[in-house]
Amino acid sequence: MLLKVCGATSRDDVALLDAAGVDLIGLWHGVPGGPADLPLDRFAALAGACRTAGADAARPVAEPMLVTFLRDPAAILDAARTADVRWLQLHGYQPPGVVAALKRERPDATVVKVLHVTGDACVERLLLPSYERAGTDVFLFDATSAEGRVGSTGRSLDPDVVLGLAEATGQPFLVAGGISAANRSRYEKVAAHPRFTGVDVDTAARDATGAFRADSVRSIRQHWRAAADTEEVA
């Protein structure tokens, strides 16, 4: 089970998240107005910091992930190549053609397409087959606000809605939207799904000031991983 934490903006963030056992560190680039948006040079520098943060440890190093609203495949590929990033998260309403263009040029990339869910409705649901044919490797189910805010809303998804979307695709999936240590039990059926791949966290990994807290990250990791290990044994 993968644990991704999103929105690192400094080397201290990267070091803290890596030490707390995160698998994927989301770095924002091309997210206009986003509080964690990084210019290309800083994005590349922090991606490099991800690869070296835990290089002397006996565990895998946290992988950097590009999180972007960009729609131009050339701009996405330029950022990925500049930072040497393999995980690409399309967090916005990019069409399937963008996925196809990325996979043509970078077949080794892992393309994660976010599916936006408001209540029990997903606007991209009818496009799922097209996204799969385009080469999407992983889907990420995330909650939008009633006002249309996308990403880091802190809102939780209905587990039954998640399961419905999971059954509508044959690809692995991650779950975002208000994920925390406290609500792990609410997602028992989701976590037991054979294609459940992990969780994406932002708000619950931070304190009231917005700073990442290692104890919060470790608690999320322990609750979700311990339960996943128990289910595998069972």
Residues 6+ positions from 184 with CB-CB distance below 8 Å: 191, 223, 224, 227
Q: What type of residue sits at position 70? A: L
**Distance separating alpha carbons of residues 176 and 42, to the nearest angstrom:** 25
Q: How far apart are CA 146 and CA 160, in angstroms?
A: 19
Query: In whole angstroms, what is the distance from residue 224 CA to residue 234 CA?
Result: 15
If residue 158 lies in a helix (H) or strand (E), which one and from where to where?
none
Tokens 């006996």 belong to residue: 58
Assess whether pLDDT exceeds 50 at residue 233.
no
| Mean pLDDT along residues 52-65 | 77
Structure tokens at 131: 């996204």
Per-residue pLDDT band at 15 (split at 50, 70, 90): very high
pLDDT of 225 above 70? yes
Helix (H, G, I), strand (E, B) or coil at 125: helix
Mean local confidence (pLDDT), 101-110: 98
pLDDT of res. 147 = 53
- Whether 159 shows a pLDDT value over 90: the answer reads yes
Mean residue pLDDT of the chain comes to: 91
Whether 231 has a pLDDT exceeding 60, the answer reads no
Q: What is the pLDDT of residues 161-214, one digit of tens each?
A: 999 999 999 999 999 988 999 999 999 999 999 999 999 999 999 999 999 999
Share of the chain above pLDDT 70, in %: 90
* Residue 234: band (very low, low, confident or very high) from pLDDT cuts 50, 70, 90: very low
Nearest Cα neighbor of 18 from 51, 40, 67, 66 is: 51
Neighbours of 108 (CB within 10 A): 6
The encoded tokens of residue 6 equal 């999103």
What is the mean pLDDT of the segment spanning 17-39? Answer: 95
Q: Which residues of 129-166 are buried (b: 16+ CB within 10 A; e: fewer)?
A: eebbebbbbbbbbbbbeeeeebbbbebbbebebbbebb
> What are the extents of the domains in the chain?
2-233
pLDDT for the residue numbered 196: 97
pLDDT of res. 51: 87
Homologous superfamily of the 2-233 domain (CATH): Aldolase class I (3.20.20.70)
Q: Which residue has the higher pLDDT, 146 or 211?
A: 211
Q: Please enumerate in sequence order all residues whose Cβ is within 8 A of that of 183, keeping only pairs 6 or more positions apart, or say none.
A: 156
Kindly indicate the confidence band of residue 52, based on its pLDDT and cuts at 50, 70 and 90: confident
Q: What are the respective helix, strand and coil percentages of the chain, to the nearest 5?
A: 40, 20, 40
